[in-house]
Amino acid sequence: MTGARSGPSQRHALQGEPVVPSAPSTIDLHTHTSRSDGLLRPSQLVAEAAAAGVRLLAITDHDTLAGVRDVLDADNVPAGLDLLPGIELNAITADRLDLRESEVHVLGLGVDPDDDELEATLALQRRRRRHRFERMVRRLRDIARPIDDALEALPATGDEDALGRPRVARAMIAKGYVTSVEEAFSMYLSRGRPGYVAREGLGPIDAIRAIRAAGGLAVLAHFSEAPERPDLIRELQAAGLGGLEVYYRTFDALTVEAVAAVATEASLVATGGSDYHGDLESYAATHAALWVPPTVEAPLRTALAAARTGTAATR
């Protein structure tokens, strides 16, 4: 794999044949809003997804359910759209330095947005994010790339918002240091580059447990290495992993096929999504290239229901 590995979603882009959607996708189980590192406000995102034809949408902001709550509290779920509460946890795999940035990302689909224990875990993750963010800003200042004034000009973030590298990247673009989020990652913000600061936080087993305890389905996100890492898949599955993100928007056709085979073999539910952040194009343009087959829905619903009742039984 020699694909560009810099930006938040581009780094998963592979070099083979692109997936050609058979029809407009009605399912998108991986999206970000301005409550974490996306650009669209939560209400905008759900409106644009519904307008593009999505009927089952998960908002999966990093370490926060604030975006989901914004939409639910304001009664802003468009007619005909089923909004699934979700999160994405970037879990540290310090013992596996061969994995990209020593991280795997775990999606929690269908988590209870009112679960106090999950909220406490997320709040701790957000504090660690803020700390890492501040260290990155300091590091950039030390190498004569200050971004403080540009950060102030970006939309404000609240206590429930999860700060991420794309925000640093956008401030760097505003300052003229780079021209894209991808360039900011590849020159400054990825491991080994001068603005990089290692993440602190949960490991994958604890991330999966936190999701399960809140009634959610734990899904390994955009893990194109899955076919080469059956050991890791088995280990995570033993800890409660229930799904694998097979239909990831920037996977090429062969990768989708290979990751789908892993899901089938391991009896993991196949999910799919755009990982939309909003830096490169409109939601509609991203959606036009997304293929999540409708056959994903029935097994997903069964697994979500089992995850919910599993919580009730073990508590």
Confirm or reject binding of residue 275 to Zn ion (CB under 5 A).
yes
Closer to Zn ion by Cβ: residue 112 or 275? 275
88 or 115: CB nearest Zn ion: 88
Give the CA angle between residues 6, 12, 17 to the nearest 5°.
125
Residue 63 or 88: the one with the smaller Cβ distance to Zn ion is 88
Query: 70 or 275: whose CB is closer to Zn ion?
Result: 275
Cβ proximity of 99 and 225 under 8 Å: yes
Neighbour-count burial for 198-214, b at 16+ CB within 10 Å, e otherwise: ebebbbbbbbbbbbbbb
Q: Which is nearer to Zn ion, 150 or 280 (CB)?
A: 280
Which is closer to Zn ion, CB of 113 or CB of 146? 113
Nearest distance, CB of residue 261 and Zn ion, angstroms: 22
Segment 181 to 210, residues that bind Zn ion, using CB under 5 A? none
Q: Say which DSSP state 75 is in.
A: T
What residues from 36 to 65 belong to the interface with Zn ion (CB under 5 A)?
Answer: none
Work out how close the CB of 139 gets to Zn ion at its nearest, in angstroms, rounded to a whole number. Answer: 23
Which range of residues in 96-104, 247-255, 272-280, 306-314 is near Zn ion by CB under 5 A?
272-280
Paired with 272 in beta bridges are 247
CB of 273 to Zn ion, least distance (A): 8
Instruction: Compute the distance between CA of residue 308 and CA of residue 315 in angstroms, rounded to an integer.
Output: 11
User: Which phi-psi region, left, alpha or beta, contains residue 244 (left: φ > 0; alpha: ψ -120 to 50)?
Assistant: beta
Nearest to 107 by CA among 121, 85, 87, 84: 87
CB of 32 to Zn ion, least distance (A): 6
Q: Which is nearer to Zn ion, 190 or 310 (CB)?
A: 190
Q: For residues 212-241, which are near Zn ion according to CB under 5 A?
A: 221
Tell me if 249 contacts Zn ion by CB under 5 A: no
Q: Work out whether 145 is an interface residue with Zn ion (CB under 5 A).
A: no
Strand partners, 57: 28, 83
In the region spanning residues 94 to 113, those forming contacts with Zn ion, defined by CB under 5 A, are 105
Q: How far apart are CA 228 and CA 51, in angstroms?
A: 38
Provide the sign of the torsion angle of the four alpha carbons 158, 159, 161, 165, taken in this order. Answer: positive
CB of 314 to Zn ion, least distance (A): 27
Alpha-carbon distance of 285 to 282, in angstroms, equals 5
Q: Indicate the Cα dihedral angle 173, 177, 179, 182, nearest 10°.
A: -90
| Closest approach of Zn ion to the CB of residue 94, in Å | 18
User: What residues line the site for Zn ion (CB under 5 A)?
Assistant: 88, 105, 221, 275
